[in-house]
């Protein structure tokens, strides 16, 4: 090796993440009219970050906690309480000891650990199926652990493309993994109805497919945690399926920087669950040794206390109601302006996101001329809207949509 050559000469440049770059550009923009509809973080009615009252109280309750290492699998009461929250304390998967779990670095970390465990269990030659469109990190996470990733068409202009979804389920090889959005599909906002979930589950059971739920928005979608967890509980409880669930508290408790999540697998029996959990421990040990404590203690303090848990449920209602209100107001403003297009989808979709159906050129024009920032796909975070900017956003969208193409 010559003195001028580099070990890293074959490492290609990787473009930065588009959403984080969008946020970076927004922060650097000095224009007072600027609106950030890119990154999916909740904002209050003034456009500011919101620390949930339940979280504020929980932080006060744990202020004298120690700073020792957690066990490899994570904070034990956190794992127990979150598992009971997701599956229901009275469920047969809990009483039968059939759930293996580990604390994870929010939803992304949970998906990565799940991918590593499934590769170990099923082998590298299995295919992971994701929706098209899907969260931008899904493909990257599963390809990084060695899986082949395929997409299936998920959404049409008017809702879920059930024909394409069911066809993908029918044609996939047994033991294929399907990444399912438990609620608030990112980015489309189109969620299956309970009846559609039952259709999906029936085919997955019949064809021995493996469901892996990305559950980043439970409770925030509708304001009701039980309602948002319907699919998970139906697959595990009613159909008795083996499955994986990746939980994040970034959105539902506003713990973005604390990276607090859980990776859980429902297995056939208690002995298998023990084996799976031992494998999770080995993976976590080699990856991060043991997880961070602060966020897990915050979540535990909330879920273990009836008063704080009730406050958190009210906080979820506050967030989901504000998002729903902004959906309606944006739709109303565009309708009042008689903006060309069908804007009813804004209120028909659920959760934090919506795809407006604008072209990349229109999205670019909104950023350059009006300082409105959104993903190139025109996916917007509804939480970035408030009483002070929603009319401005609607008027600018109207101008861009009505502008003749050059």
pLDDT tens digits for 43-71? 999 999 999 999 999 999 999 899 999 99
How many CB atoms sit inside 10 A of residue 269's CB? Answer: 10
| pTM exceeds 0.75 for this model | yes
Is 135 assigned a catalytic role?
A: yes
Q: Does 141 share its domain with 265?
A: yes
Is 405 inside any structural domain?
no
Q: Does 315 share its domain with 296?
A: no
Domain boundary among 304, 321, 355: 304
Q: Does 159 share its domain with 239?
A: yes
Count of residues making up the chain? 406
State the catalytic residue, choosing from 214, 228, 315, 367. 214
Q: Does 155 share its domain with 277?
A: yes
Is 343 assigned a catalytic role?
A: no
Domain boundary among 269, 304, 339: 304
State the catalytic residue, choosing from 135, 190, 197, 312. 135
pLDDT tens digits for 355-368? 999 999 999 999 99
Is 59 inside any structural domain?
no
Is 262 inside any structural domain?
yes
Domain boundary among 304, 335, 367: 304
Per-residue pLDDT of the chain (406 residues; tens, 9 = 90+): 555 799 999 999 999 999 999 999 999 999 999 999 998 899 999 999 999 999 999 999 999 899 999 999 999 999 999 999 999 999 999 999 999 999 999 999 999 999 999 999 998 899 999 999 999 999 999 999 999 999 999 998 789 999 999 999 999 999 999 999 999 999 999 999 999 999 999 999 999 999 999 999 999 999 999 999 999 999 999 999 999 999 999 999 999 999 999 999 999 999 999 999 999 999 999 999 999 999 999 999 999 999 999 999 999 999 999 999 999 999 999 999 999 998 999 999 999 999 999 999 999 999 999 999 999 999 999 999 999 999 999 999 999 999 865 5
- CATH label of the domain that carries residue 371: 3.90.1150.10
Copy the structure tokens of residue 364.
């670019």
Is 224 inside any structural domain?
yes
State the catalytic residue, choosing from 161, 228, 251, 312. 251
Q: How far is CA 263 from CA 99, 110, 113, 217, 270, in A?
A: 10, 5, 7, 15, 17
Is 31 assigned a catalytic role?
A: no
pLDDT recorded at residue 196: 97
Q: Does 127 share its domain with 198?
A: yes
Q: Does 200 share its domain with 342?
A: no
Q: Does 89 share its domain with 202?
A: yes
Where in the sequence is the domain holding 328, given as residue range(s)?
Answer: 18-51+309-399
Q: Does 42 share its domain with 151?
A: no
C-alpha dihedral (170, 175, 176, 182), degrees to nearest 10: 90
The total number of structural domains that make up the chain:
2
- CATH label of the domain that carries residue 241: 3.40.640.10
Q: What is the spatial distance between Cα 104 and Cα 277, in angstroms, rounded to a whole number?
A: 13
Contacts of 149-154 spanning 24+ positions with Cβ under 8 A:
154/185, 154/188, 154/190
Q: What is the spatial distance between Cα 21 and Cα 38, in angstroms, rounded to a whole number?
A: 10
């Amino acid at each position: 090796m010559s003195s001028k050559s580099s070990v890293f000469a074959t490492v290609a440049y990787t473009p930065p993440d588009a959403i984080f770059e969008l946020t970076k550009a927004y922060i650097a923009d000095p224009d007072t009219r600027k609106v950030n509809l890119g990154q999916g973080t909740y904002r209050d009615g003034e456009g500011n970050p919101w620390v949930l009252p339940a979280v504020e109280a929980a932080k006060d309750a744990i202020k004298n906690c120690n700073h020792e290492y957690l066990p490899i699998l994570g904070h034990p009461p956190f794992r127990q309480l979150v598992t009971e929250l997701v599956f229901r304390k009275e469920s047969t998967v809990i009483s039968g000891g059939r759930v293996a779990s580990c604390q994870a670095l929010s939803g992304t970390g949970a998906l990565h650990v799940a991918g590593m465990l499934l590769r170990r269990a099923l082998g590298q030659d299995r295919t992971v199926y994701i929706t098209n469109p899907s969260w931008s990190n899904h493909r990257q996470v599963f390809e990084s652990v060695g899986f082949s990733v395929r997409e299936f068409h998920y959404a049409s202009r008017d809702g879920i493309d059930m024909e394409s979804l069911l066809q993908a389920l029918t044609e996939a090889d047994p033991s294929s993994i399907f990444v399912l959005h438990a609620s608030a599909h990112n980015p489309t906002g189109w969620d299956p109805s309970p009846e559609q979930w039952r259709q999906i589950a029936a085919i997955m059971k019949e064809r021995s497919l493996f469901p892996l739920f990305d559950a980043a928005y439970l409770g925030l979608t509708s304001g009701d945690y039980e309602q948002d967890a319907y699919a998970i509980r139906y697959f595990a409880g009613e159909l008795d399926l083996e499955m994986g669930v990746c939980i994040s508290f970034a959105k539902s408790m506003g713990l973005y920087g604390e990276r607090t999540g859980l990776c859980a697998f429902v297995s056939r029996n208690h002995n298998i669950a023990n084996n799976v959990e031992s494998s999770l421990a080995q993976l976590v040990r080699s990856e991060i040794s043991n997880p961070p404590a602060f966020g897990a203690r915050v979540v535990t303090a909330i879920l273990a206390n009836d008063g704080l848990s009730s406050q958190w449920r009210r906080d979820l209602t506050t967030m989901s109601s504000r998002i729903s209100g902004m959906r309606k107001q944006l739709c109303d403003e565009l309708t009042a302006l008689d903006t060309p297009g069908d804007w009813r989808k804004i209120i028909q979709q659920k959760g934090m996101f919506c795809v407006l159906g604008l072209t990349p050129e229109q999205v670019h024009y909104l950023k350059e001329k009006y300082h409105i920032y959104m993903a190139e796909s025109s996916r917007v975070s509804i939480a970035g809207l408030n009483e002070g900017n929603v009319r401005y956003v609607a008027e600018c969208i109207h101008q861009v949509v009505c502008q003749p193409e050059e």
